[in-house]
Chains A and B, each alone.
Chain A
Amino acid sequence: KNQVEQSPQSLIILEGKNCTLQCNYTVSPFSNLRWYKQDTGRGPVSLTIMTFSENTKSNGRYTATLDADTKQSSLHITASQLSDSASYICVVSATPGGYQKVTFGIGTKLQVIP
């Protein structure tokens, strides 16, 4: 069964600190992995996308890594800001038999406090 597991479920950090969110997946055959940011009550917004051959992708203060061998990804947030408070969702796409299947993780809820 295709699964995407994220940890921790929630996290509180002080403004200005760094943090790392984890995503483990069992989805196959792997196509790509995306991280989305979802502000409370809003739709998710894509942050990064990585394919099998990419192991690092940055978007400003967000850096995603991918280890396709161990099926793990992380999202590192540098110098956190209050506006980073949101849920971060890991999304993995597979292409079984050429058909596209997308699996969402449940998300990590990040709270940045002053």
Chain B
Amino acid sequence: DSGVTQTPKHLITATGQRVTLRCSPRSGDLSVYWYQQSLDQGLQFLIQYYNGEERAKGNILERFSAQQFPDLHSELNLSSLELGDSALYFCASSVEAARGGYTFGSGTRLTVV
């Protein structure tokens, strides 16, 4: 157990629907990162939050949004889902200025049918 908790582990939904992925960071970590990994692809950075505020944004679609709550857990919202959104979504957490030293969760596997 890495200390980063992601729920649900698996999610199957239809095109056009909206889903919410949840992440609880490791105790003491203020930064949360979201990554998307499509089949046999590398990790694509989506967005980072630090202590409730958006810190950096990557290749995140406008249909996707995220937030980090006062208790530091984070949610990634995916709407108007398309088949191509099927992927593993990872959350990672770190202390400030971790410079790549992330602790990853076990991911949520999203399947859009």
B74 to chain A, nearest CB (A): 15
B60 to chain A, nearest CB (A): 15
Residues 81-113 of B at the A interface (beta carbon under 8 Å): 88, 90, 92, 97-102, 104-107, 109
The answer, among A42, A93, A106, A107, for a CB contact under 8 Å with B106, is A42
Residue among A42, A46, A92 making CB contact with B101, cutoff 8 Å: A46
The DSSP consensus for interface residues of chain B is loop
CA distance A80 to B92 in the complex (A): 28
Is A44 within 8 A of B104, CB to CB? Answer: yes
Q: How many of A's residues come within 8 Å of B, CB to CB?
A: 22
Interface size band for B: 20 to 34
Structural contact, B2 and A104, CB atoms closer than 8 A: no
Within the complex, the shortest CB–CB distance from A6 to chain B, in Å, comes to 9
Binding site secondary structure of chain A: strand
Q: State the CA gap A101–B43 with chains docked (Å).
A: 14
Beta-carbon contact of A43 and B42 below 8 Å: no
Distance in angstroms between the alpha carbons of A89 and B97 in the assembled complex: 20
For residue A34, which residues in chain B have a CB less than 8 angstroms away from its CB?
100-101
Task: Please measure, in the bound complex, the distance between the C-alpha atom of A42 and the C-alpha atom of B105, giving whole angstroms.
Answer: 8
Known: A49-B100, A49-B101. A106 touches B42 (CB 8 A): yes
Contact A43 B92, beta carbon cutoff 8 Å:
yes
A102 contacts B90, CB within 8 Å?
no
For residue B45, CB closer than 8 A to chain A, the reply is yes
Contacting residues of chain B (38-94) with chain A, CB-CB under 8 angstroms? 41-43, 45, 56, 88, 90, 92
The verdict on B21 contacting chain A, using a C-beta distance below 8 Å, is no
The 6 closest A-B pairs by CB, nearest first: A43-B104, A106-B42, A93-B100, A93-B99, A102-B100, A104-B43
8 contacts between A and B (CB under 8 A): A34-B101, A44-B104, A45-B2, A89-B42, A91-B100, A100-B99, A104-B42, A107-B42
